[in-house]
Amino acid sequence: MTVDPAARVAELRAQIAHHNERYFAMDAPEISDADFDLLVRELTELEAAHPELAVADSPTQTVGASATFAPVEHEIPMMSLDKAFNTDEFDNWHTRLVRAAGEGRELGSFVCELKFDGLAISARYENGTLVRAATRGDGRVGEDVTANVATIANVPKQLGSDAPAILEVRGEVYMPISDFNALNDARREAGEQLYANPRNTAAGSLRQKDASVTASRNLRWFAYQLGQVEGAPTLTRHSETFEYLDSLGFPVNDQVKVVESADAVKAYFADAEARRHEFDYETDGAVAKIDSLAMQRDLGVTSHHPRWAIAFKFQPEEKSTKLIDIQVSIGGKGKATPFAVLEPVFVGGSTVQMATLHNEDQVKVKNIRPGDTVLVRKAGDVIPEVLGPVLSERAPDLPEWTFPTHCSCENHHPLSRSEGDAAHYCLHPTCPIQRDAWIEHFAARAAMDIEGFGERTVQLFTAQGLLSDIAGVYELDFEAVGQIEGFGEISVRNLETSIEASKGQGLGRLLIGLNIRHLGNSGAHVLAKAFGHLDKIIEADLETLASVDGVGPTIAESLRAYFDDEINLGIIERLRAAGVDFNGPEVIEVDQTLEGLAIVVSGGLENFSRDSVKDAITSRGGKSPGSVSKKTTALVVGESPGASKVTKAEELGVPIIDEAAFVELLETGVVPPG
């Protein structure tokens, strides 16, 4: 069967956006790093083969991000690293560097480091005082997490008198494995849900609105890079960076090593992988960087990553264990997802007891049955995955597993699967399992962001009869809540304040909270901007909804079905009565000066962020593709533009303009003469 490239690109972008949201905003990834990287790689190859399908906001052009705290724009972008999954890919990277360095010029030594599985952080010091800490975010704009980072014991708050005027230090925040295990032991004794892994727990701990919670988690930090620096000694080698950081009191990992050849780099990778579980922190790879800072500057960067560094990803580990059972969970949209219940097995640095199986077809493809001995892989040291059965150990009379026909809730409603859909759904309007998951989703960080309204609280309130749907969140009897054990006066007051504040989150987040099938987070914000008010979306016909860029017929049909449902409309009216904001972001009308024009932007612009430059183009009627083609009107180049785009523009005779000319183009619709 021939695959339509445009359809596959759209599908990949939707999948990657979803998994970015799970990883960066929710700290709850559903797939392994390796599987995610395969999706990105396939999309990259399709966009390269079909340049007309590339767009500026493609996931291949950005790093996933969330926006829980105040935004911080990095003075120097925090770029991600290119990846190698085997030694052949590393050799190809090395060959490219040798060619780029030029004939007769040696690359010199390499610095090898471990790749920590944590959260990248930038800490800024002015005259020796910590003034700001921020997450990487999308590489240009991160989140301000200063108060929380300040609670981490080994992050210096004050440097010595010899500290430079400005010093930006980059590193990785992580949770030691021993502390993670102790935290889970305490939660197990308290009967609370266990955390999945140290990386997600560290990320969630760092994003706590109450810094005292972060302080209780015993997070740690390794410093490994300098960003913006003013007034520091002149350094000529990356290895000197570690010595300088150590002299100022920053924690530096003791596994850093300088080697003189590519073969020595590969030997370091092999040794690090063999010893990966000797450390009290999780590693999912190792990194090699050119040591000479002058050579780094000469080699430069692409739009995504520095050319002079590469991350080598360790191979996922596999262990065998017993598959005790296959059970099915019901999500907030009624989706029935099978998961494996495993005999506990230590793999990838932690104990695994459960793993998702995605859907009925995946269970059949894997050919697994309860009672089997199965192979389990913890790919990327994050997500456990059942690979398949050890058939030689299967009992001859072991029965096949069949997908349940009815929901496990008290209604026992039939599960349905539409033609062309891989998932089963419970469509009963009062399914209590689905109800609890929906309310939890409504209160989640990416939606209405109601602090203290997690799974246990939702289940407690619904069991007590205080809550029956999402609108009930704004109708809570706080006097009754105060009678529940564990909810004192301060807890009730904080919950009431958080619920009240959530009313002003706006239309985009509200649409996410409504949990409309097929509508993802990015699509929700697109709709909010396009229509400006929930009532206009409710009133829109199918054709109008489908015509919105980024929506399409499938989401449009789902929206229409949702808003044609009287139960849903009743909930929306109660949300309106509670004072929930139905308004989208303010859209300023501008002249359509770029109608019919395609403007490609490469590199950082001083007065535009990645999002605002795209908005500047599209709001004026133009298109903002991610690659140069013969249809491109102009290429705008900023700081560190992609060399391939510049070369392509020169080959095709596409005008290349700077930021000042771009501003003039926005105003006039005419490309200024070069």
Yes or no: say if 123 and 299 are a contact pair by the CB < 8 Å rule.
Answer: no
- Give residue-wise pLDDT tens across range 104-148: 889 999 999 999 988 999 999 999 999 999 998 888 888 889 989
Same domain, 144 and 223: yes
Residues tagged active-site: 115
- Give residue-wise pLDDT tens across range 321-374: 999 999 998 877 788 889 999 998 887 667 888 888 888 888 998 899 999 999
Last residue of a domain, one of 277, 292, 313: 313
Evaluate if residue 585 carries a pLDDT over 90: no
pLDDT of residue 167: 95
Same domain, 625 and 559: no
Yes or no: say if 307 and 151 are a contact pair by the CB < 8 Å rule.
Answer: no
Beta-carbon-side half-sphere exposure of residue 403 (alpha carbons within 13 Å): 20
Same domain, 56 and 90: no
pLDDT of residue 531: 93
Same domain, 483 and 446: yes
Q: Is 286 among the domain residues?
A: yes
Both structure tokens of 142: 């991160």
For residue 181, CA distances in Å to 204, 333, 437, 513 come to: 16, 33, 27, 33
For the chain, give the mean pLDDT: 86
Q: Is 83 among the domain residues?
A: yes
Yes or no: say if 424 and 406 are a contact pair by the CB < 8 Å rule.
Answer: no
What's the sign of the alpha-carbon dihedral 193, 206, 23, 525? positive
Last residue of a domain, one of 545, 578, 611: 578
- Give residue-wise pLDDT tens across range 18-69: 776 665 555 556 666 666 767 777 887 787 777 777 765 566 655 444 435 7
Q: How many domains does the chain have?
A: 5
Same domain, 240 and 203: yes
* Band of residue 170 on the pLDDT scale cut at 50, 70, 90: very high
Q: Is 257 among the domain residues?
A: yes
Element (H, E) at 226: strand 220-230
Least confident of 341-355, 398-412, 499-513: 341-355
DSSP sequence for 252-271: --TT-EEESSHHHHHHHHHH
> How far, in Å, CA of 626 to CA of 52, rounded?
9
Instruction: Report pTM.
Output: 0.52
Q: Is 300 among the domain residues?
A: yes
Q: Which residues pair with 406 in a beta bridge?
A: 414
What's the sign of the alpha-carbon dihedral 232, 235, 241, 243? negative
Full residue range of the structural domain in which residue 482 is found: 432-578
* Band of residue 253 on the pLDDT scale cut at 50, 70, 90: very high
Both structure tokens of 148: 């929380």
Same domain, 304 and 347: no
pLDDT of residue 63: 45
pLDDT of residue 194: 67
Q: Are strands 424-426 and 335-347 parallel, antiparallel or unpaired?
A: antiparallel
pLDDT of residue 403: 93
Same domain, 504 and 436: yes
- Give residue-wise pLDDT tens across range 442-481: 998 889 999 888 888 998 999 999 999 999 999 999 999 9
pLDDT top residue among 99 and 610: 99
- Give residue-wise pLDDT tens across range 171-199: 999 999 889 888 888 877 776 666 767 88
Evaluate if residue 641 carries a pLDDT over 60: yes
Same domain, 561 and 629: no
Q: Name the 3-class secondary structure at 347.
A: strand
Q: Is 419 among the domain residues?
A: no
Average confidence (pLDDT) over 64-90: 80
Same domain, 483 and 341: no
Same domain, 100 and 204: yes
pLDDT of residue 20: 66
Beta-carbon-side half-sphere exposure of residue 597 (alpha carbons within 13 Å): 27
pLDDT of residue 536: 96
* Band of residue 672 on the pLDDT scale cut at 50, 70, 90: confident
pLDDT of residue 26: 54
Yes or no: say if 460 and 484 are a contact pair by the CB < 8 Å rule.
Answer: yes
Same domain, 279 and 157: yes
CATH classification of the domain holding 603: 3.40.50.10190
Last residue of a domain, one of 578, 612, 645: 578
- Spatial CA neighbour of 220 closest among 250, 247, 241: 250
pLDDT of residue 615: 78
pLDDT of residue 65: 42
